[in-house]
Amino acid sequence: MKQFIVDAFTDKPFAGNPAAVCVLENFPSEELMKNIARENNLSETAFAVKEGGAYRLRWFTPAREIDLCGHATLATAFVVLNFYEKCAAAVTFNTMSGALYVRKNGDLYEMEFPAYDLKPVPVTDEMTAALGVRPLEAFMGRDLLCVMDSAEFVKKYSPVTDKIISLPGTLLHITARGDAKADCVSRSFAPKIAINEDPVCGSGHCHIAPYWMQKLQKTEIVAYQASARGGTLYCKAKGKNLLISGKAVLFSEAEINESAF
């Protein structure tokens, strides 16, 4: 079984968000996919199988299968369009979140995702305890989004995992207004799915980007994920959906030793 490691939302190795990608003739058992994801110990391992003119795509964290992952979708599109469908300019993935379309545009891979419908929620003492300061605002989609008062806080925040895990939502995203290089900065934490910090979270920006587009009265923004690895996402509104673009770079190709299991 061939496996690729791709760094997504970056153009250089050791930055962005690494994802493992396996393109297969058939899906292995769910138990094996979970074991491979645990062995990789990356935030996501993606498995793709060609079905007609599209690919069925599934994503696994070290803890469980999830319904949407941006960086592993970008990484899988990079692998498919560079190694399996070299003459194609786009690929469609059928997923738990519906059909996802990815188009190659120069050195960018543009993904069309559903934007989450954010609902304002009260800022709680539990949020304040987890973050150390009181958020300006809080919203719920699939994940919890907390808006902070400065980019510097977002960049320097040290996560308190045992307090984050008690907050609502699958992930916690913290965000603040950006600087001259980006409209916003953010970080993403997911201890509930065995990821203390997701280096660059595409699905998280289905929460983050709509908030800042509305706040800044823009239909296009540049978003920077301020993790230790760092990554840049180019976000554009498209009706109820969101176009998220980013670069990707191949880190490695390997063969999984199937004879061992």
Contact (CB, 8 A) for 200 and 8: yes
Q: Please pick, among 25, 31, 44, 255, the residue that the annotation labels catalytic.
A: 44
Which residues, other chains included, contact 162 with Cβ-Cβ below 8 Å and sequence gap of 6+?
Answer: none
3-state SS, residue 191:
helix
Q: Terminal CA-to-CA distance of the chain, rounded, Å?
A: 12
Cβ count near 108 (within 10 Å): 15
CA–CA distance from 144 to each of 1, 77, 118, 140, 226 (Å)? 37, 28, 9, 5, 18
| Residue 30 falls in the annotated catalytic set | no
Contact (CB, 8 A) for 14 and 252: no
Distance in angstroms (rounded) separating the CA atoms of residues 233 and 243: 10
Cβ count near 141 (within 10 Å): 22
Q: Point out the residues that are catalytic.
A: 44
